[in-house]
Structure 1
């Protein structure tokens, strides 16, 4: 029996690998530090988690404000119920768990306890989309599709540490419940190079381009920007429009960019069913914008387990696959 050469083996850690490229600037635990900063200004902010403080960067808050931190154990419905009760008393809860558990296990509690009375309950979901290789039990590939139909719920899909750091205080100050797709650990810092500021409910054109327009959210904005730089080598000029807020959706900005004759794509770390692609498509139909948009996203299926770099390439989320798709479509 022959063995795989050591240099080609991917360790188990590659299943939860960082999205930072080698040498890329990163910020450690931006959500945890942003929540601490917001809590220093607002004594009503409290933090809760369902036995996942370390894995959602909530442990940073717990260390800074132990008297305002609540460990609810592995009980996501209780987590949401407790957060709702706190919001009813005037507190501003941030409750963290994995996205799959928030969307699949605690939906009814979030919908009827928090969204229907429009309470300021902020759900922080770790491992959104294909950010783990542990298989369907932990891959929240349909979380935005599940949540988009919930009235009053704001959905934010941040690109990097800049988005997260700036989104947290705005979520705390907003009315009604919110859902933040969390990037945790050492999170890349990308948007500081594009004269960008996060505004809840707003899309931003990060770079102009005459040949192609990419509308993206989450970590796929990072990939869109990298693909745009690679495509310059092929004399392809790419515009990137970042849409960190999925709901409410900034259709005005996005449709203004799509209503041209450029090749158009959407890019998302989510199934093509019910996420950014269908949000854009719906907005186009309602506005009477008639043109083709190609989706870059995850397929409508349960995904394999494995190393993240391998999975991202297999399912078309890697920079190389994005570049190939654009070149083949031009």
Structure 2
């Protein structure tokens, strides 16, 4: 089964609103695309469309949070991370305010919308901020758990979602916990640490590698900040080499976070697979993944070169 993480967000936000009247939703005129429109239709009195005014989006949400509400604000990642950055930094993070920032349309799989809408720097921007939690679910099932779970967490959260449909690769019965990763496939030759869509690509690559006698462990690192330091050290000790995979720039994203941990706690060789200092471009999602070396075939080739296989 494949399902877009933005769709799971809209459906779960609606259910959350039915259970908790402290949940409010705000959008910068993109609620139809982020799927927050489902909440708007049922709870118009708890929904605000700020128009194309992202600074106001964060400012109003901060006011709601200070009055005891739990605001979920949503827009495209390319707009919600850069245009109101000062508001996010000073209102949400400096004051440690309970705002949930939900960014859709991340990565090159946004597709035909082109490079201006394909946000590839948002993890770097958000994880640099004190107090900010940064999450990127592997699939729609994990998205549902995150949207529910962050309502119970008191503080700012950045939730990175996508337009494209992802395969469901996580277990519905497995609980999500901020700061924890999960081994989805075991192996002793190398560890593939992925986030978002790249978790399913890592699993595809691991299957191909297994056919060539290379056993790759696959880790879903959906909590990028805080990151699961213990799991990373365990994998480094047991497999020796680490490959990170993300639909994001190789600078400042998941790969950087992994290297920061391992360089201090258990240094091993790390290969970062992501977008190599380029902007996105218009095209179909699968074509763009291949163009940027993020498809499973490209991953296999890079892993083999890295481990000398």
| TM-score, normalised by the number of residues in structure 2 | 0.94
Find out whether 1:188 has 2:167 as its counterpart.
yes
Matches within 5 A, 1:48-63: 48-63=26-41
| Residue in 1 that maps onto 2:288 | 311
SS at match of 1:196: coil
Tell me, in whole angstroms, the C-alpha distance in 1 between the residues paired with 2:82 and 2:2.
34
| Residue in 2 that maps onto 1:175 | 154
Query: 1:48·1:69 contact (CA, 8 Å) conserved in 2?
Result: yes
| Residue in 1 that maps onto 2:72 | 94
Query: 2:166·2:197 contact (CA, 8 Å) conserved in 1?
Result: no
Matches within 5 A, 1:79-158: 79-133=57-111, 134-158=113-137
Query: 1:120·1:172 contact (CA, 8 Å) conserved in 2?
Result: no
Tell me, in whole angstroms, the C-alpha distance in 2 between the residues paired with 1:192 and 1:226.
17
Query: 2:232·2:262 contact (CA, 8 Å) conserved in 1?
Result: no
> Cα RMSD (Å) of the superposition?
1.7
| Residue in 1 that maps onto 2:208 | 230
Q: CA deviation at 1:82?
A: 0.8
Query: 1:49·1:70 contact (CA, 8 Å) conserved in 2?
Result: yes
Q: Which runs of 5+ in 2 are unaligned?
A: none
Tell me, in whole angstroms, the C-alpha distance in 1 between the residues paired with 2:182 and 2:13.
24
- Residue by residue over 1:195-230, the C-alpha shift from the partner in whole angstroms, topping out at 9 and shown as x without a partner, is 633211211111111222111111111111111122
Q: Which moved more, 1:89-98 or 1:318-327?
A: 318-327
Q: CA deviation at 1:187?
A: 4.7
SS at match of 1:224: helix
Query: 1:30·1:184 contact (CA, 8 Å) conserved in 2?
Result: no
Deviation beyond 4 Å, 4+ runs, structure 1: 184-187
| Residue in 1 that maps onto 2:267 | 290
Query: 1:266·1:296 contact (CA, 8 Å) conserved in 2?
Result: yes
| Residue in 2 that maps onto 1:220 | 198
Tell me, in whole angstroms, the C-alpha distance in 2 between the residues paired with 1:292 and 1:45.
44
Tell me, in whole angstroms, the C-alpha distance in 1 between the residues paired with 2:75 and 2:54.
7
Q: Which runs of 5+ in 1 are unaligned?
A: 1-23
Query: 2:10·2:35 contact (CA, 8 Å) conserved in 1?
Result: yes
